[in-house]
Amino acid sequence: MSRKIPLGIAIAAAFIAAAISVAVTVSVYSDSYNRLIRDLPQRSSQYAVLSEIDEIIREHYYGDVELDKVLSNMAAGYIQGLNDEQCFYIPEENLDAYESTVAGNIPGTGVTAVYDAASHCLVIRDVAQGSPAAEVGLTAGNRISAVDQTAVTQTNSSQLINLLFTADKKNTTLELLETGADGKEARRLVTVRNGYTAQSCITNTVGGVGYVVFTDFYPDTAARFDEALAAFTEKGVKSLVIDVRNCQSVNYEQAAQVIDRIVPMAGEGIGAIAAAVDKNGNTVRLFSSGSDQVNMTIAVLINDRTSGAAELLACDLRDFGKAKLFGEKTAGEGSYPELFSLEDGGAVLLAVAKIRPYLSEPFDEIGVSPDTEVPLTDAEKNALPPAQPENDPQFAAAYAFLTGNPG
């Protein structure tokens, strides 16, 4: 029986053989090569297993092998094998969409919806602010019975929900047939745009207290926060609620810029807002601070869906003595990611370091605990940010701290 070894495995085997030869003859780089040599038995075993699987498949598999898909799935499987939700493989065809989303440029109408079997409609759960759907007046609770003259059914509901959420056609108009609670129908024309800018910094004033909701951290988030601070200052606002509940982001650069607007120059701890430290103790990234600071009394709202950069913001504001935390213990995801490009056009996002806050110990796998614990139900968490903050128990607790008046 002939042995069919893929070209990649053959090249890898040749590389291993060459590495062994060089490691034996070149002593000046002994430390590096010693580490390589220690890995060689394990790597050789891995390649042998892949070769054996390849041989069995080629000999016995009934179906056709699409090599491109196999290699892509192998790459994804390798990353999944790390069992780290912060790491993943991004195929070439998804990379542009990923990078656009990270930048806050979201495709689609801005609608997230679910299928309601009782009414045979899509029920809108959320409409992103500034999205095409918001511009034509769609709101949570609206029921959609048809999309582009296609009636909603249980069978096609997933396809239509996906069309609304991730539509990738530029300047395409979707005709939505909305059915009201009274059974009356209204047609809405929603233009699908690629790259509408999601709002990551939503502001309000409640009873003289400034209210800032960070839904994410995008490249323009710090600039939007600057605008909010200027508006609050003009109104004479002296206290601030910062809401990072449900905020899940790894954009530590923008979070650090927001923190820098609030805190004074770092003079203790690590001497910086934060540091990303790798497994060898090396500092991969240092986030420094300036001398300007905000002279406001601040409360920060957190929950178990607060992660990454949002956790750093909450932790650091308390470390600097600038805020008290209200809500629930955070998710505990404090890895620092780096995107590595691949020759196939895709990329791998890997956790390369852990975030170390100003004074506290790293919160990765631990979380950040609130100063005042106020639990919410899952239904209440799904409704965040609240339409009426004063009816939110966590906001009410923070408001009472800031004003002495829970109402």
CATH code for the domain of 126: 2.30.42.10
Judgement on whether residues 292 and 336 belong to the same structural domain of the protein = yes
Judgement on whether residues 146 and 258 belong to the same structural domain of the protein = no
Q: Is residue 93 part of a domain?
A: no
Q: Is residue 61 part of a domain?
A: yes
Judgement on whether residues 232 and 180 belong to the same structural domain of the protein = no
Cβ contact 177:144 at 8 Å? yes
Q: Is a pLDDT exceeding 60 seen at residue 38?
A: no
Judgement on whether residues 188 and 320 belong to the same structural domain of the protein = no
pLDDT at site 321: 97
Q: Is a pLDDT exceeding 70 seen at residue 44?
A: no
Distance CA 378, CA 386 (A): 13
pLDDT at site 183: 65
Q: Is residue 22 part of a domain?
A: yes
Q: How many structural domains does the chain have?
A: 3
pLDDT at site 16: 38
Q: Is a pLDDT exceeding 90 seen at residue 72?
A: no
Domain boundary among 150, 179, 197: 197
Judgement on whether residues 309 and 161 belong to the same structural domain of the protein = no
CA 285 to chain centre: 19
Domain boundary among 142, 165, 197: 197
The mean pLDDT value for 202-208 works out to 92
Distance CA 169, CA 191 (A): 10
Judgement on whether residues 219 and 168 belong to the same structural domain of the protein = no
pLDDT at site 10: 41
Tell me: the pLDDT tens digits for 325-352? 999 999 999 999 999 998 888 899 999 9
Of 253 and 164, more confident: 253
Q: Domain of 221: which CATH number? A: 3.90.226.10
Q: Is residue 86 part of a domain?
A: no
Q: Is a pLDDT exceeding 70 seen at residue 39?
A: no
Distance CA 348, CA 219 (A): 21
Q: Is a pLDDT exceeding 90 seen at residue 73?
A: no
Q: Is residue 99 part of a domain?
A: no
The mean pLDDT value for 236-244 works out to 97
Judgement on whether residues 188 and 219 belong to the same structural domain of the protein = no
Q: Is residue 79 part of a domain?
A: no
Judgement on whether residues 353 and 251 belong to the same structural domain of the protein = yes
Cβ contact 120:153 at 8 Å? yes
Does residue 132 have a cis peptide bond before it, meaning omega lies within 30 degrees of 0? no
Judgement on whether residues 224 and 308 belong to the same structural domain of the protein = yes
Q: Is residue 82 part of a domain?
A: no
Distance CA 305, CA 263 (A): 24
Cβ contact 358:352 at 8 Å? no
Distance CA 203, CA 229 (A): 10
pLDDT at site 194: 52
Task: Cite the beta strand spans of 170-216 per DSSP E.
Answer: 172-179, 185-192, 196-197, 201-206, 209-214
Domain boundary among 15, 34, 65: 65
Domain membership of residue 244 as a residue range: 201-403
pLDDT at site 2: 39
Judgement on whether residues 317 and 352 belong to the same structural domain of the protein = yes
Beta bridge partners of residue 348, listed in sequence order: 89, 340
Q: Strand pairing of 143-147 and 88-90?
A: unpaired
Cβ contact 299:326 at 8 Å? yes
Q: Is residue 296 part of a domain?
A: yes
Tell me: the pLDDT tens digits for 267-318? 899 999 999 999 999 999 999 999 889 999 999 999 999 999 999 999 999 9
HSE at residue 104, side-chain half, CA atoms within 13 A, is 19
Judgement on whether residues 190 and 46 belong to the same structural domain of the protein = no
Judgement on whether residues 217 and 162 belong to the same structural domain of the protein = no
